């Protein structure tokens, strides 16, 4: 039945068959799974209808993931169809010139202008399927995609960076992802790309290490000062991500946090200033908890009347807690003396 549908005369039927392929092959034995996958995709990737070919391209990453529990992994022909051929580098990096010539169906499948975006969306799933040990097979295609200047491709890659870093480990992350992250955080054309890069900082820092994390945040601070982050939402997300960093990077990050906090307090957007003010108390608390000198930052923060209340509240709570501890200690000492007498 399935084989008849693959060769159905109606293109809509052939197209819909592709959406059922990944869940279907997971139910088959490994040998039969490879056979059905090969026969279906080699037939439909050179279908005369463009919609069918594009659906074949769209389903490749999910089909590869269907082999996640296969001891042999996904078959080579499937990876080749997904990543493209060696000569398709210009397709992946977006430098191929569009012509009005109509190539044969199989050639059109590999030259499809939607291929870079499809690859970018599917890369985390494919990386998870192959694992850290086989990252070398994916590296070249990933770096080709990272060189692409299309906004949608950059957004998809930036959104998946954290997941890929967790899979490929510290060494591969430092070697292949960090430079790509810097490209995205400095990307002038698209705030969504920068936002995704900011949102994935925690995962990248956790994988790549403290030195990388401190370097990241120095770059964020410089970009904020240089007004790279033009959309207020990205500055808001920076503040939210920043308050996670002292636990991850220790006291070395606090001067950078203080510098960004000071920039946020004079931001033109009220929403950003409100978030910065709400973080003042948490920042002062973290500094005092580590017994660090906070006088420099307090002088800076107290230039803004809105900061008085959170700082005053912090000192009041700290004083009350200190008095309470002293009182409890005194009561405990009196009780001990009473019991001993």
Please give the pLDDT value at position 276. 83
Q: What is the mean pLDDT of residues 316-333?
A: 43
Q: Does residue 317 have a pLDDT over 70?
A: no
Count Cβ neighbours within 10 Å for each residue of 317-341 and write b for 16 or more, e otherwise.
eeeeeeeeeeeeeeeeeeeeeeeee
Would you say 280 and 311 are in contact if contact means Cβ atoms under 8 Å apart?
A: yes
- What span, in angstroms and rounded, lies between the C-alpha atoms of 43 and 325? 76
Phi, psi of 78 (to 5 degrees): -70, -45
Would you say 205 and 247 are in contact if contact means Cβ atoms under 8 Å apart?
A: no
Please give the pLDDT value at position 320. 40
Find how far residue 128's CA is from the centre of its chain.
14
- What span, in angstroms and rounded, lies between the C-alpha atoms of 111 and 105? 10
What does the block give as tokens for 166?
């967790």
Q: pLDDT-derived band of residue 304, with 50, 70 and 90 as boundaries?
A: low
What does the block give as tokens for 255?
């001067």
The label of the residue with tokens 């005092």 reads 288
Torsion, Cα 105 110 116 117, to 10 degrees, reads 30
Q: Does residue 83 have a pLDDT over 80?
A: yes
Q: pLDDT-derived band of residue 246, with 50, 70 and 90 as boundaries?
A: confident
What is the tens place of the pLDDT at every residue in 126-135?
Answer: 999 999 999 9
Is residue 228 classed as helix, strand or coil in its secondary structure?
A: coil
CA dihedral sign of residues 22, 23, 25, 30: positive
Q: What is the mean pLDDT of residues 218-233?
A: 94
Please give the pLDDT value at position 307. 54
Q: What is the mean pLDDT of residues 238-247?
A: 89
| pTM of the model as a whole | 0.84
Contacts of 106 (CB under 8 A, 6+ apart): 45, 46
Using DSSP, how many helices (H) and how many strands (E) does the chain show? 21, 0
Please give the pLDDT value at position 314. 44
Lowest-confidence segment of 19-28, 74-83, 314-323 by average pLDDT: 314-323
DSSP designation for 71: T
How would you class 214 by CB atoms within 10 Å of its CB: exposed for 0-12, middle for 13-18, buried for 19 or more?
A: middle
Would you say 234 and 269 are in contact if contact means Cβ atoms under 8 Å apart?
A: no
What is the tens place of the pLDDT at every residue in 93-117?
Answer: 999 877 778 889 999 999 999 999 9
- What span, in angstroms and rounded, lies between the C-alpha atoms of 107 and 112? 9
Please give the pLDDT value at position 6. 85
Is residue 81 classed as helix, strand or coil in its secondary structure?
A: helix
Summary mean pLDDT of the chain:
85
Please give the pLDDT value at position 172. 97
Please give the pLDDT value at position 277. 80
Q: Does residue 294 have a pLDDT over 70?
A: no
Percent share of the chain, pLDDT over 90: 62
């Amino acid at each position: 039945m399935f084989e008849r549908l693959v060769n159905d005369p109606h293109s809509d039927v052939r197209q819909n068959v592709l959406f059922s392929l990944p869940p279907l092959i997971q139910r088959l034995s490994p040998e039969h799974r490879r056979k059905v996958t090969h026969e279906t995709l080699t037939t439909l990737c050179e279908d005369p209808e463009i919609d069918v070919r594009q659906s074949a391209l769209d389903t490749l990453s999910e089909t590869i993931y269907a082999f996640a529990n296969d001891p042999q992994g996904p078959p080579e022909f499937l990876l080749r169809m997904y990543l493209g051929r060696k000569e398709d580098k210009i397709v992946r990096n977006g430098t191929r010139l569009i012509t009005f010539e109509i190539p044969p169906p199989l050639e059109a499948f590999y030259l499809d202008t939607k291929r870079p975006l499809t690859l970018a969306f599917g890369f985390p799933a494919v990386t998870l399927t192959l694992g850290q040990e086989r990252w070398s097979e994916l590296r070249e295609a990933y770096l080709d995609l990272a060189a692409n200047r299309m906004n949608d491709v950059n957004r998809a890659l930036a959104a998946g960076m954290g997941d890929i870093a967790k899979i490929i480990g510290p060494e591969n992350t430092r070697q292949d992802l960090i430079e790509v992250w810097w490209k995205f955080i400095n990307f002038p054309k698209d705030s969504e790309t920068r936002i995704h890069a900011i949102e994935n900082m925690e995962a990248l820092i956790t994988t790549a290490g403290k030195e990388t994390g401190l370097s990241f945040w120095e770059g964020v601070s410089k970009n904020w000062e240089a007004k790279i982050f033009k959309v207020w939402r990205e500055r808001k997300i920076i503040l939210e991500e920043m308050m996670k960093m002292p636990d991850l990077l220790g006291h070395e990050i606090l001067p950078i946090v203080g510098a960004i906090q000071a920039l946020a307090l004079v931001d033109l957007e009220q929403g950003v200033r409100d978030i910065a003010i709400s973080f003042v108390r948490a920042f002062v608390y973290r500094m005092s908890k580590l017994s660090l000198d906070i006088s420099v930052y307090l002088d800076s923060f107290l230039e803004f009347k809105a900061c008085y209340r959170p700082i005053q509240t912090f000192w009041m709570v700290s004083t009350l807690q200190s008095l309470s501890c002293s009182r409890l200690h005194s009561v405990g000492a009196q009780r001990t003396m009473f019991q001993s007498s």
